[in-house]
Amino acid sequence: LFALSCPYNTHNASAAHSIYSTQGAEIYNIQMTITPTNCLRVIVSILLYFNIFSFLHGFYSEAATFTHQTAFTTTFSLKHKLTKTTSSKIMSSSSPEIITTETTDFNQPVCLYHQVTIPTSQEGPPAQKISVEDLTPTLTSLLIKSQMKNGVVNIVSRHTTTAITINEKESRLAQDMEQYFLSLAPPDERSSSIAKQDGVRYYHNDIDQRPDSTEEAQRCIENGWDIHDENELQKWRDQEPINAHSHLLSMLLGSSESVPVVDGNMVIGQWQSVLLVDLDGPRDRTVGIQFMGYK
């Protein structure tokens, strides 16, 4: 562009510029008359060069952004659905086979939250027993009602002594889980659990010393307990369970899970179920279930 803006003038030239290659050979010999018109041509040519470069760079960036849009991008909307499944495997006996399902569906969005009460399958009053409840049928039913085809379902426990996990729902495995968990965190010798062990004590279970912080005292007040009244304080202490081991096991297992939904189905394995593990039961429990995606 610089060369085109410089008219050749072999007569009365006031300036000459030579362009050389990396080997030193002269490629162009440009002679130009330095006049206000030629200077303006040079300036215009430089501006045009950078404007064209910026346009091309911006066009490429927009194209790249559009190409990498996913099913949850909200910057544009498509009225059709495209599902493409591809399978690839690197040529090696130890390499994994990758099956990719690419779905683009930008119809009506879905954002639903349910608070669901899960009745216990065990009998008897609360006795710090460990039980396992299968949430999968409930999740499947709610998913069908939501009409969500692609997205994610989030499941969260609403208690500090329950957990959410994904594994097999099998009665004898549930017994193994109970024995194993109680070996990891045995119940306090002061608890009502039949599995309590002598010599085992947890700070959390020193009910007569609680609340021992301003934060816990404030939580008691916010939950309706006037702990500044001695009688009310004793009532709170009497109802507080000896369940520190249940809290610890809940922390180990985790309180939430997220499951992808593709083509209207939860993406879990053949023998997998979404489980609520009650670590201080049996009691009816509540879970939060949220669907986010597209119909």
pLDDT digits (tens, 9 = 90+) for 75-102: 333 344 555 555 555 455 677 877 776 6
268 token code pair? 């879990």
Mean per-residue pLDDT, 166-177: 97
Amino acid making up residue 182: L
Q: How far is CA 285 from its chain centroid?
A: 24
Mean per-residue pLDDT, 195-214: 96
Question: Among all chains, which residue has been given the structure tokens 């030579």?
Answer: 18
Task: Indicate if the pLDDT at residue 21 is higher than 50.
Answer: no
38-52, 70-84, 143-157, range with the lowest pLDDT: 70-84
- Most confident by average pLDDT, 12-26, 28-42, 116-130, 210-224: 210-224
Task: Indicate if the pLDDT at residue 157 is higher than 80.
Answer: yes
Task: Indicate if the pLDDT at residue 280 is higher than 90.
Answer: yes
Structure confidence at residue 103 (pLDDT) = 61
User: Distance (Å, rounded) from C-alpha 267 to C-alpha 256?
Assistant: 16
Helix (H) or strand (E) segment spanning residue 16: strand 15-20
Task: Indicate if the pLDDT at residue 117 is higher than 70.
Answer: yes
What angle (nearest 5°) sits at the alpha carbon of residue 100, between those of residues 95 and 106? 160
Structure confidence at residue 161 (pLDDT) = 97
Q: Is-cis flag, bond preceding 211, omega within 30?
A: yes
Structure confidence at residue 96 (pLDDT) = 84
In tens, the pLDDT along 42-65 reads 776 776 666 655 555 555 555 444
> Sorting pLDDT into bands at 50, 70 and 90, what band is 38?
confident
Structure confidence at residue 218 (pLDDT) = 96
Mean per-residue pLDDT, 269-286: 96
Task: Indicate if the pLDDT at residue 175 is higher than 80.
Answer: yes
Structure confidence at residue 67 (pLDDT) = 43
